[in-house]
A and B are shown apart, each in its own frame.
Chain A
Amino acid sequence: MTPLLDVRHLSKHYGRQIGCADVSFDLWPGEVLGIVGESGSGKSTLLNCLAGHLAPDQGEVIFDTRAEGPKDTLTMSEPERRMLSRTDWAFVHQHARDGLRMGVSAGGNVGERLMAVGARNYGSIRSQAIDWLGRVEIGETRVDDRPTTFSGGMQQRLQIARNLVTGPRLVFMDEPTGGLDVSVQARLLDLVRGLVRDMGLSAIVVTHDIAVVRLLADRLMVMKDGHVVETGLTDQVLDDPQHAYTQLLVSSVLQV
């Protein structure tokens, strides 16, 4: 068995400023990895380097491709990497607006990835779109509505449907519950957990919300000033933190 993603010595600098430094980890099929840290800790830089949105200065991001097995995505050709990012990868943005086409109907948003990989039958594209809207609890009657008419939580669910319709194996999530009401957050978390379990997805979730990772992530990586300071099982890191920063982070969470 090989890991789905094998990250080695990944570094990204912005001039003399450290984005992230010497990050290494692996991710196995079906695992959800949480990355926590405060603003500026480098967690978003890391996610964007992993997803191919930013070019790291050095390191390797080895993905276990379906066709050719493990390959470094950083040395792949751009067409190959873009093909990955619309088939085997998915990226859920914090702001649904960044991940959706706001001028296109919900059905069109979900169907786009299907059409991008060659689907040319309107009827089947539409029925798959409706099926996925249902899975994220959006009614069939909304299939022709634009996302501008949706609430924040619905937009986020639509973004997830749009990303998962091609059956990706790795999902990147950047603060997926940020900016949502607490009650809406809970529903989204449950949805994501169910999808991860049912589809056998692996996910990397960046968040500053400790409660979100406790419920969603199997494993946790704590970042500070661009460095990974602690990793481990989520509950172990949160309940028995070893590093000074993690102890501070955990003890700073407000108790309800």
Chain B
Amino acid sequence: MCCPVLTTPSPGSAKDWLMSDYNFAYLDEQTKRMIRRAILKGLAIPGYQVPFASREMPMPYGWGTGGVQVSAATLTPDDTLKVIDQGADDTTNAVSIRSFFERTAEVATTTVTSDASVIQTRHRIPEEPLSEDQILVYQVPIPEPLRFLEPRETETRKMHALEEYGLMHVKLYEDISRHGHIATSYAYPVKIEGRYVMDPSPIPKFDNPKMNMPAIQLFGAGREQRIYALPPYTDTVSLDFEDHPFDPSKAPHPCGLCGAEDSYLDEVITDDQGGRMFVCSDTDYCETRCANGHRGTELAETAA
């Protein structure tokens, strides 16, 4: 950067060289202001997709440019940031975004869910219940739940405006007619406060019931230039049929490492003989349980 930063509060003097290179949290103040306005509008109209002028970020679309911009506009120097990708703190995407904010905002980072004040996530909601002083930021690839059935944006906007959501059920109807049950297992559409139908981003449907939570939830879609939001305790209902009710099921196994029965699991292939194990997708949850002495079958065997 060629120009000095004028408006950002300095979190500390030790790393002043960084702050001369970057504005706080990378984005300029006017951009953050614009994004905050979009967030506030989104919170005021839960589930409504607010257009915003998405900026180019130093990472490709699909890597969380929307979530990063929302996080950048949300972070303050006192925040503690956690970044997860499919529940894990240690994948490339999570590590990159975490270090991006370490460098550009100098905020503290953590992998412990309860220690974080802002959590940016891709495709999961942490297992540990969130609290009122936390903010969950989702990365969203395609914000429009009606998109695959109605490609015209002019038409989908009208459908949202007029609450014409019959088409959403057509998709679920098609699922049942083809598979005998609602086969949509992630990005499962929800209706917000009885008004807007919203795409919860590609979280597993197992996470849908958690969306009615004390924390603020913000959704950012960079490529599609949309932000939407849920204030604390927003009523969130997963769409279904009377005779095919919503079922937030998961793989019927306990975690192989920590033995948890209530967490969302990843299937891990362990060899080329068909061997596999199920482990918590939320790495922090799993590690905390293991540290507290919980043992799953896989760990028990290795220990023995």
- A, B co-complexed: yes
Q: In the complex, which residue of chain B has the Cβ closest to the Cβ of A146?
A: B174
Choose, from A118-126, A189-197, A208-216, A229-237, the stretch at the interface: A118-126
Chain B residues within 8 Å of chain A by Cβ, number: 18
State which of A101, A143, A144 has its C-beta within 8 Å of the C-beta of B170: A101
Complex Cα distance A180/B27, Å? 60
Q: A108-164: which residues lie under 8 A (CB-CB) from chain B?
A: 108, 111-117, 120-123, 125-126, 143-144
Complex Cα distance A30/B149, Å? 35
State which of B165, B167, B169, B177 has its C-beta within 8 Å of the C-beta of A143: B177
Interface centre among B164, B173, B174, B241, by most chain A C-beta atoms within 10 angstroms, is B173
A82 engages B164 (CB within 8 Å)? yes
Can you spell out 24 A-B residue pairs with CB atoms less than 8 angstroms apart? Answer: A82-B162, A86-B166, A104-B174, A105-B174, A107-B173, A107-B177, A108-B174, A111-B170, A111-B173, A112-B166, A112-B170, A113-B166, A114-B166, A115-B170, A116-B164, A116-B165, A116-B167, A117-B166, A120-B169, A121-B242, A122-B176, A122-B242, A123-B243, A144-B177
Q: In the complex, which residue of chain A has the Cβ closest to the Cβ of B163?
A: A79
**Interface check B244, CB cutoff 8 A:** yes
A120 engages B241 (CB within 8 Å)? yes
Q: In the complex, which residue of chain A has the Cβ closest to the Cβ of B172?
A: A122
- In the bound complex, residues from chain B placing their C-beta under 8 Å from that of A143 are 177
B242 engages A120 (CB within 8 Å)? yes
Complex Cα distance A173/B93, Å? 54
B222-242 interface mask toward A, CB cutoff 8 Å, 1 = contact, 0 = none? 000000000000000000011
**Interface check B178, CB cutoff 8 A:** yes
B149 engages A101 (CB within 8 Å)? yes
- In the bound complex, residues from chain B placing their C-beta under 8 Å from that of A122 are 173, 176, 241-244
- In the bound complex, residues from chain A placing their C-beta under 8 Å from that of B167 are 112, 115-116
A73-94 interface mask toward B, CB cutoff 8 Å, 1 = contact, 0 = none? 0000011001000100000000
